[in-house]
Amino acid sequence: MQQGLLAKAYGYARPGVEDTPWGRREMQVRDPFGNRLVFAGPQTA
């Protein structure tokens, strides 16, 4: 998903993937209306 958004050069969605201290991997994006969308899943080794 991240690579697809980065390839489009869409100004509102320039996501980075972050491993959180509580054991999740998250990607955050903002839509054109300013809403923050968070996609999360388990961290992989």
Block residue for tokens 């991997």 = 25
pTM: 0.58
pLDDT digits (tens, 9 = 90+) for 18-30: 899 999 999 888 8
Which whole-number Å values give the CA distances from 5 to 13, 19, 23, 30, 45, in the listed order?
6, 19, 24, 12, 24
pLDDT digits (tens, 9 = 90+) for 1-45: 666 766 766 665 566 788 999 999 998 888 888 898 899 999 876
Predicted pLDDT at 32: 81
> Domain residue spans in the chain?
2-42
Cα atoms found within 13 Å of the Cα of residue 36, Cβ hemisphere only: 5
Residues in contact with 11: Cβ distance below 8 Å, sequence separation at least 6, in sequence order:
none
The partner residues of 18 in beta bridges, in order of sequence, read 26
Query: Residue type for 27, please?
Result: M
